[in-house]
Amino acid sequence: MSGGPDEGAGVEMMHPPPEAVQCICEHLDAVLCVDFLPDVNSPMVAVSGGCDDVTMISNGADSSTIAKLEHHKESVSAVAFCNDGTMCASADLAGSITIIRQDGSILTILDGPDGGFEWLQWHPTGAALVAGAEDGTVWLWVIKKSGLKRTDTIPQEKACQHSITFPSHPGPVPRGSFSPTGANVVTICHEDSGVRLFDPRTGSMIAQRTGPDMFLRETVSPLCTLAVSEPGPGGAWLVYVGSEDGHVFVLKGSDLSVLHRFRPHMEPVECIKTIPRTPLVLTCSGDGSLAVLDMSSGKERLSKNLGAGGCTQIGVVPKSSFSYVGTAEGSVVCVNILSGEVVHVYEAQLGGAPVFCVAVPKHPESAPYFAAGGDDGCVWVFPLWESIVAGTV
């Protein structure tokens, strides 16, 4: 990979972060989200979105631009490639989602709520997409794959095979997810601190867990983040939920019964990530701490303070003991999650600007890098620490 460009859009970039090997720098404002293409042959192709109302598809190997979509009317709040990489989606705070073909052409634009979308996720194996909004609604669409053979933008009613709006929540839906097999959708609500389980085929609610049920008290804290586990024996799966006062709850996926309650943080839980093929779960918080929770014992394995500025995001590398934690002080901290040792600190944003997103390619064995985007308007690409130690980059 070549070095960073001489100049960027929106920020002075004559002196890029010292360890950055490349950057995607066309955003004119903060970068809020980034995702990599799940293709072993093009592992560094990435989609990003930001406060400049732009979605970019770029090749992180050489910073070439595949597509620049400037039709959004508000900030792009979430982006993601589908499981086979043939489509990606970008959601914005104006309440629309754009479905994009691999060549960068727009397949369709999905009209949603009056308020903005906060998150989106593709079905783990199919062409269904679910997204949650600020107005308490959750939307699901099934995209017709036949639209991939065309190059024009198709009206929503012709591009979708099926669509559902789930029963409204009493307040914003900050996070949600398909279950590991895609058989269910689970959401959290900021207003009532409730967790809800839905059937995505009908939109009907299967189970609900209220805030007092989880906190074991009437006074509850708003929920702010969520993650789900891989499928376990017999298809069993878990839901991990974080609150603004630092709690983490572990719920049974089938009925949302509470299995474990943790209090690893004193401020909002900003991110929860599972470690593939292990019982370990990582959580980070605005109080600057990273926690490792062990589901095999139901106990907190370790906690590490990474800085007073607060932690924002976590990037996980499969089959590695290292994870990458973004901070509000502009760094990405590489941590050995087995020992808690900080092994390296990357300067990830110019001028100490906050890091808002950290992403690792789906095939790090062929693309040993991670990307960090944030308030300096750039998505910087850095070598993974394990690849530096091994001398492979």
Q: Give the three-state DSSP class for 341.
A: coil
d(CA 21, CA 315): 18
CA angle 340, 342, 343 (to 5 degrees): 120
How is residue 369 written in tokens?
């890098």
d(CA 205, CA 213): 18
Q: Which CATH architecture has domain 31-313+333-345?
A: 7 Propeller (2.130)
Question: Which pLDDT value is given to residue 9?
Answer: 42
Per-residue pLDDT band at 10 (split at 50, 70, 90): very low
> Exposure pattern of 170-184 as b/e (b: 16+ CB <10 Å)?
ebbbbbbbbbbebbb
Average the pLDDT over 364-370 and give the result.
Answer: 93
Average the pLDDT over 19-28 and give the result.
Answer: 86
Q: What is the mean pLDDT of the chain?
A: 92
195-250, pLDDT tens digit by residue?
A: 999 999 999 999 999 999 999 988 899 999 999 999 988 889 999 999 999 999 99
- Closest by CA to 30, choosing from 14, 47, 54, 4, is 54
* Range with the poorest average pLDDT among 42-46, 76-80, 389-393: 389-393
Average the pLDDT over 274-303 and give the result.
Answer: 96
Question: Which pLDDT value is given to residue 356?
Answer: 97
pLDDT at 11 over 90: no
Question: Which pLDDT value is given to residue 61?
Answer: 85
Give Cβ neighbours of residue 253 (< 8 Å, ≥ 6 apart). Answer: 179, 184, 186, 197, 228, 229, 236, 237, 238, 239
Question: Which pLDDT value is given to residue 2?
Answer: 40
Question: Which pLDDT value is given to residue 190?
Answer: 92
Give Cβ neighbours of residue 219 (< 8 Å, ≥ 6 apart). Answer: none
pLDDT at 367 over 80: yes
pLDDT at 353 over 80: yes
pLDDT at 6 over 50: no
pLDDT at 357 over 60: yes
Question: Which pLDDT value is given to residue 115?
Answer: 84
pLDDT at 1 over 70: no
